[in-house]
Amino acid sequence: MTITAAPTEQSHWKPREVKIINEQPVAFSDLVVHSFSVAELEDPVIHAAGPLADWEHSEAGAWVMAHAVETPWWSRYLDVSCYSYRFNIVARLSESDQTFFKLKYT
């Protein structure tokens, strides 16, 4: 499942929610799972395609794609401190999956 859309961060970011699964409350929230910079170019999205695909096919990316509740999405913003665009990949994970991800991959 490829990450293909770049919606605005405000339109996709959701508040924390709790669902009952097997009679147990499970909390889900959004987490930035990967972040990288692309030099300020005419079309930074084209230049970000390589790092996005590389991350998705990495061990951490494959794990996130398998455990995310929804398809992960990405956003970008201009980082004026270093004249580049900053890309964030955001995934909606359960809190236990977030803990596992942080311990293993960060």
Report yes or no: 10 and 88 within 8 Å, Cβ to Cβ.
no
- What global pTM score does this model have? 0.82
Q: Which residue has the tokens 């201009």?
A: 78
What separation, in Å, do the N-terminal and C-terminal C-alpha atoms of the chain show? Answer: 23
Quick one: pLDDT at residue 2?
56
Q: Can you tell me the distance from the alpha carbon of 70 to that of 13, in angstroms, rounded to the nearest whole number?
A: 12
Q: Show me where the domains of the chain are located.
A: 9-96
Asked if the model's pLDDT at residue 40 lies above 90, the reply is: no
Quick one: pLDDT at residue 69?
93
Q: Amino acid identity of 47?
A: H
Taking the CA atoms of 69, 71, 73 and 88 in sequence, report the sign of the dihedral they define. Answer: positive
Report yes or no: 16 and 27 within 8 Å, Cβ to Cβ.
yes
Asked if the model's pLDDT at residue 46 lies above 80, the reply is: yes
- Tens of pLDDT, residues 61-98: 999 999 999 999 999 998 888 889 999 999 999 999 99
